[in-house]
Structure formats: C-alpha cells, structure tokens
Amino acid sequence: MDAAEAPIPPAVARRAVAWWVDLQSEDADEALRRRWQRWLARDEVHRRAWARLEAVGARLNGRVHQGLAGVPGASALVQVALAEAAPSRRRALGAALLAVLAGGAAWELHGDPAVQARLADLGTGVGERRRLVLADGTRLALNSGSAVDLRYGTTERRLVLRRGEILVETAPDPARRPFVVQTGAGELRPLGTRFRVRDRGDQFELAVHEGAVELRPATGAARVLAAGEQARFDAAGVGPRQAADADAAAWVDGMLVASGLRLDEFLAELGRHRRGRLDCAPEVAALRVSGSYPLADVDRVLATLPAVLPVRAVWRTRWWLTLHAKT
C-alpha cells in the first residue's frame, strides 16, 4: 500500500480535525498557529493526516472563504466556507471531516448524505426548526433535522433539499429567474406558490397549499399538482394524488397535530424532534392519537400518553422509550 493511502490512526485523525476547528475559532492567534505547525513537523503521520484533510477540502466545490488564507498549509481545508460560522456548525463539520479522514483516501465525500447535510448552506439539528427569508424574498421554513443548499445564479434560483422537510413560499423575481427545488428523485418547479416537501427516505412527499407545482421525476413523466393536492414520488414517477394534509405543516408553528393517528406513527413523528428512540409494542401500535402537541417539550408530551391511552412507559435509558400495554 502506498504510504499516502495508509490508514490514519484514529487518535491522529481526531487531533487533526481538532486543529482544524481551533484554527477557525475567533480566538485563533499566532501562538496557536505555531503550536499547530510544531505538531505538523513532529511526525510524518501528522503531515499525512493534514494533507488528506486538505484533499477533502479541495472536493468541497465552491465552499472556500479567504478568512484563513494567510495560514501556512491551510490552502484548502481551513478555507472552507463556515470559517466564520457558529462554533456548533464548525464542530458539526469537524465531525463530518473526521468521518472522512477515518474512512481513508478512497472515501468519497459527495456520496454520504449525512456529511452532505452537515456541509449544507442551511440546516437544523434534531429538535430545531428555522424560518428565514431568502435574498429574493422567498420564505423558507426548515423542520427538525433538515438541510438545504442554495444555488442562486443569473439564470435560475435553485434550492437543493439534502434531507428533512421544508415549507417554501416563493416570491416573484424581477429577473424572471425560475425557482427550482432539487430533490434526490427529481425537480419541483413552483408556479407562484406555497408548498411543502418532505424526504421520507425511499420516497419524497409534495403538498401544495397555494398555487401549483410542476413535479418532474428524474426518469418518470412530469405532473402538475394544484393547491390542495399532495402526492408521493420517487425517481420513476408520481403516486396517486391525495388531498393535502394542512395539519402536516403545523411544525412550522411548533406543533404536531394528530387526528386519529396510529400510535406508532405518532411516535415516529415525535421522534423527529427528539434524540433517541421512541417505539411501542405491536399490541398498542394501532391505538389512535388525536390532539395538538407542542414540539418544544417532547418529553412532556410523552409523559401525558399513559394518562390518555391504555399504555405504560418503559424507559430503557434516558434516550430509549417503549410503550407497552397497561397490565
């Protein structure tokens, strides 16, 4: 095996990424940079680890800031966009880069959805929701655990959904650039509209609340959904039209609205907003749940379930709850 392709020891990989995060910190100074340079000079493995990180950075198309351009040896990685980002986002990207470094030279960054999401232009963590107005006036809301990239150019306004769920209200564009939402299964072209898109793993779901959206699967026939309609789709085509579920967008206001929802499905929805595992035994999975529940305190919602349903809660750990039938 060529030395350049030899595995990087985990401890060295962690230290290399830690240096990367520290060098982007607001507290980074010349003393820190000198320590980093001494670390590089101390061992060939350290230099190889850093070189591999730089190679990863070179594959981050267009995500380069000049904030650390003066740092010797930081030609690619430490100029990555996010150099001025919040510490939490730098740490998230650092975790992604650690996965890259530990995976070896043959590991391809663009092939891993989790890493893509960490590197996205806009994202939310578990339990976090965001609303913002884009430069063209388009209103965008991101549900928990979501990520998008923005690709605004001279000929189009493109939003790439990396994971999760978004609600979009498009704004007119003086330059008449079309608005496009790109998903893993095809493109959506809204026609002056308000709509919701969700990545469900094996399929995507589009619900149109105002206007209309042209849905273009990657290999299937295009279809237009009008206001009040929703459908699931994959790369091969679009499923049956259904009435749009207005309550499914209640997360924008921090609520989960259930109307006769199965308990297992209810827990799956709640689980999108809380770290850990929420499930139930098969004998109670079909129990029905109705009501409006605040997403800001999922644990409080879980605590109320045994009072309104014939279930008992079994906590295996703080992060793993299973509901069983009451005995």
Q: Is 63 helix (H, G, I), strand (E, B) or coil?
A: coil
Q: 211 and 262, same structural domain?
A: no
Q: Which residues contact 39 (CB under 8 A, 6 or more apart)?
A: 15, 19, 46
Q: 241 and 126, same structural domain?
A: yes
Cα distance between residue 204 and residue 199, in whole Å = 5
Domain span holding position 147: 122-246
**Amino acid found at 229:** E
Q: 98 and 147, same structural domain?
A: no
Q: 113 and 128, same structural domain?
A: no
91: number of Cβ within 10 Å: 15
Bridge partners of residue 230, in order along the sequence: 207, 242
**Six-digit token pair at 174?**
């003086």
Cα distance between residue 58 and residue 203, in whole Å = 32
246, 271, 305 - which closes a domain:
246
Q: Supply the pTM of this predicted model.
A: 0.69
**Six-digit token pair at 262?**
């199965």
pLDDT < 50 stretches in the chain: 1, 60-88, 104-114
Q: 218 and 259, same structural domain?
A: no
> What pLDDT does 30 receive?
83
> What pLDDT does 165 receive?
97
> What pLDDT does 84 receive?
36
> What pLDDT does 202 receive?
87
> What pLDDT does 111 receive?
42
Cα distance between residue 147 and residue 117, in whole Å = 5
Q: 108 and 36, same structural domain?
A: yes
Give the helix ranges, DSSP H, for the chain: 10-23, 30-42, 44-58, 87-103, 113-118, 263-271, 298-308
228, 246, 264 - which closes a domain:
246
Phi, psi angles (nearest 5°) of residue 187: -120, 150
29: number of Cβ within 10 Å: 9
> What pLDDT does 16 receive?
80
> What pLDDT does 98 receive?
58
> What pLDDT does 92 receive?
52
Provide the domain count of the chain.
3
CATH number at 296 reads 3.55.50.30
> What pLDDT does 68 receive?
36
H or E element at residue 267: helix 263-271
CATH number at 164 reads 2.60.120.1440
Q: First CA to last CA across the chain, in angstroms?
A: 61
> What pLDDT does 133 receive?
95
